Amino acid sequence: MSGRPNVLIVAAGGTIGMTYDERAKSYAPTLNAGNMLAWLESKELPCEVTVVDWSHQPSSHYNIRMMADLAELLRREAGQGINGIVVTAGTDSMEEMAYLVDLLWPYPYPVIFTGSMIPSDQLGSDGPLNLYHALLAASSECIWGLGVLVCFQDQLFAASEVCKINSFKRDALAAPERGPVAEIVGNKIHLIKKPKRGRVIEGNLIPAREVEVFWATLGGGERILKLLSEDESLEGLILAGFGSGNVNPAWVPPIRQIIRRNIPVVITSRCLRGRVVTSYAYEGSAQKLLEIGVLSGGNLTPLQARLKLAVGIGAGLTGKDLQRYLLES
């Protein structure tokens, strides 16, 4: 035994595993985890590495149930002498993938999501370096206890703070106004801060699948919201409201109808750094919504609230217990 950390690489698709296909005249999944690890064969790695090929799909093809399956796979592997895990995936939904796993990850050692914006067979590809940095992070005890992180462009971001801010540049992932939790300089991890994590719900739960997000727009949405209020499969609804959590008053009747069916409805803000605040008492305001039984999403983004609500429902939480869970941070 070398005494070095054991890190697992789980391949979950995305651009990092794609190369150009001449027949299709586009990029296609061609690389497995072993192929990607071969990029670093001339580099002295900070750990022992094992690999699992889980999926080669783009992240835009995933759903909540599939990511719950991935989280369960990672938890099973955690009991096999693993000191850290790297997940290679697509960036399109990486912020949601990482956040959902973070809600379900009870162990101190890290899960590091990484990927690339440029395929490995193109000039300037960021895949090999991102992968090396992710392995470095996953094998570093200094980031134990920080939960799930995203590694991109020499930085580590908290799953609860990261978002995709650009669709084509290599620095596409960031934590606006909050910054990284750590930076990578050479072969060293420089810890900057420790992000807060809410309660992790343990066990092999199945998150609710039919939870939707509905965005407030100028004078829009009433007809679609009415259709949602009549959807028998709906399990939960997130409202991405204006400002501090306000919606058009025409939305209130269908919202009431959904609540009467004992389906949880959560109000959030569509603002980049939003928070639900009960500053107003007009119809459709956050205050009025809470009075009719809508739950507060606090400072959760609409995307985060959807995933957290799905986990809470899957854990059997209702009423005040569900509200408390949504506001824990």
Q: Which domains does the chain have, with CATH numbers?
A: 6-191 (3.40.50.1170), 211-327 (3.40.50.40)
- Which one-letter amino acid corresponds to residue 301? T
Say what the pLDDT of residue 1 is. 40
pLDDT digits (tens, 9 = 90+) for 233-289: 999 999 999 999 999 999 999 999 999 999 999 999 999 889 999 999 999 999 999
Q: How big is the CA angle at 39 (ends 35 and 42), to the nearest 5 degrees?
A: 130
**Alpha-carbon gap, residue 320 to 215, rounded angstroms:** 25
Q: What 3-state class would DSSP assign to 34?
A: helix
**Alpha-carbon gap, residue 81 to 6, rounded angstroms:** 7
pLDDT digits (tens, 9 = 90+) for 105-152: 999 999 999 999 999 999 999 999 999 999 999 999 999 999 999 999
Q: Give the residue carrying structure tokens 């009991």.
A: 79
Angstrom distances, CA of residue 258 to CA of 74, 166, 232, 233: 35, 35, 10, 12
* Res. 166: pLDDT tops 50: yes
- Rounded to two decimals, the pTM is 0.95
The answer to whether the beta carbons of residues 135 and 156 sit under 8 Å apart is no
Say what the pLDDT of residue 2 is. 56
* Res. 295: pLDDT tops 90: yes
Give me the chain's average pLDDT, please: 94
**Tokens in use for 94?**
């990486």
pLDDT digits (tens, 9 = 90+) for 59-94: 999 999 999 999 999 999 987 888 999 999 999 999
Say what the pLDDT of residue 203 is. 79
- Which one-letter amino acid corresponds to residue 11? A
The answer to whether the beta carbons of residues 130 and 87 sit under 8 Å apart is no
Q: What is the largest CA-CA distance in the chain?
A: 67
Say what the pLDDT of residue 24 is. 86
Q: Give the residue carrying structure tokens 């990850």.
A: 105
pLDDT digits (tens, 9 = 90+) for 186-232: 899 999 999 988 889 887 889 999 999 999 999 999 999 999 999 99
User: Taking residues 301-327, what's their average pLDDT?
Assistant: 97
Angstrom distances, CA of residue 312 to CA of 103, 162, 201, 237, 293: 10, 22, 8, 13, 17
